[in-house]
Amino acid sequence: MATSTLLDWYEQMAVIRATEKAAHDLFMRGLVKGTTHLAAGHEAVAVGASAALRPDDYVFATYRGHHHAMARGASPEGCLAELMQKSTGVCKAKGGSMHLTQADHGMLGSYAIVGAHLPMAAGAAWSAKLRGTSQVAVAFFGDGATNIGAFHEALNLAAVWKLPVVFVCENNRYMEYTPIASVTSVANPAADRAAANGMPGVLVDGNDVVAVHDMMSEAVRRARAGEGPAVIEALTYRHFGHSRTDPATYRPQEEVDEWLARDPLLVARARLLELGATEADVDAADARAAEVVAAASRAAQAAPAADPDEAFTDVWADGGWSWRT
């Protein structure tokens, strides 16, 4: 692992973390309408996995998807503006926090319906297979989605048709407010169910960006080579509650402390120092990230509000909105 590469990944994670903090602060000031589901703590999954993909590969995420949108190239300003219903938002204020989408970067959406996007990722993979493009589709989802019917349906179809799709479970131990272990029949809700569909199911430290990248690279290689789908279960932890109305008091403090000590940024910093980077190098990356996000927040707040007429554009692929019969 080249030090420069890991430092780039670290800075990308730092930008995502700072953007999440900015989103939280803007929400608390009443500038973000609706709710937000922050992904602070999940950055290594998004950055490590995205680094293993081609620009034309497809990504599908959940309502907790800010980190995936930015890992695929959405700007902090565009994401924050979207949360504040500004015209410069990535979806021109149509999506908000739970539906960040940037198709020209392969980010085909964040989805609020739990598990609904897994069959969609299988469909995108089927399209790529039919067209012979060697593209890969990736579905990121939470541990709670593994108990949804769409999860099992998507895995079965992907296996039957040997689709180039990778299913990545971000297991943060809680499905909203309920410990996943208390409502699931297997220890590893995603990885342990892969074998029933004849595909590899592997665990990875979701707080180690290098480990995620390496595991994802192998799954993507298999998929691109026509060897079929795989399931990766990334073990991670969210630093905030489920949403901004959740103080997360149901989590034992010793558990929270243990996971905060394994913060993805701390893990990456320690690895960078082992590789020969200096504290000054890493601190400089943090400073650059903070500056980028501070400027993005100012620009997003100053941007004009979305034009209500925009609500009637881009509803259909041709840009129109009239209902069709």
Tens-place pLDDT, residues 280-307? 999 999 999 999 999 999 999 999 999 9
Residue 133 maps to a domain: yes
Residue 200 counted as domain residue: yes
The structural domain count of the chain equals 1
Q: What is the mean pLDDT of residues 104-110?
A: 94
Write down the pLDDT at residue 320: 74
Q: What is the mean pLDDT of residues 251-262?
A: 94
Flag whether pLDDT at 322 surpasses 80: no
- Mean of per-residue pLDDT scores for the chain: 94
> Residue 318 domain-assigned?
no
Per-residue confidence (pLDDT) for residue 318, from 0 to 100: 76
Please state the pTM of the whole predicted model: 0.95
Mean pLDDT, residues 88-117 taken together = 93
Q: 61 is in which domain, residue-wise? A: 3-302
- Does residue 319 lie in a domain region? no
* pLDDT at residue number 241: 84
Does 307 fall in a domain?
no
Whether 69 has a pLDDT exceeding 70, the answer reads: yes
Pairing of strands 107-111, 58-62: parallel
> Is 317 contained in some domain?
no
pLDDT for position 324: 63
The CATH number given to whatever domain includes residue 29 is: 3.40.50.970
* Range of weakest confidence among 130-139, 242-251, 309-318: 309-318
325 pLDDT above the threshold of 60: no
pLDDT, greater one: 233 or 310: 233
pLDDT of residue 291: 98
So what's the pLDDT on residue 1?
Answer: 79
35 compared with 273, residue with greater pLDDT: 273
pLDDT for res 319? 72
In a domain, 165, yes or no: yes
Per-residue pLDDT tens over the stretch 133-171: 999 999 999 999 999 999 999 999 999 999 999 999 999
Q: What is the average per-residue pLDDT within 213-219? A: 98
Residue 34 has pLDDT above 90, yes or no: no
Using the predicted structure, report yes or no on whether residue 245 has a pLDDT greater than 80.
Answer: no
Q: Does 129 score more than 60 pLDDT?
A: yes
Does 247 fall in a domain?
Answer: yes
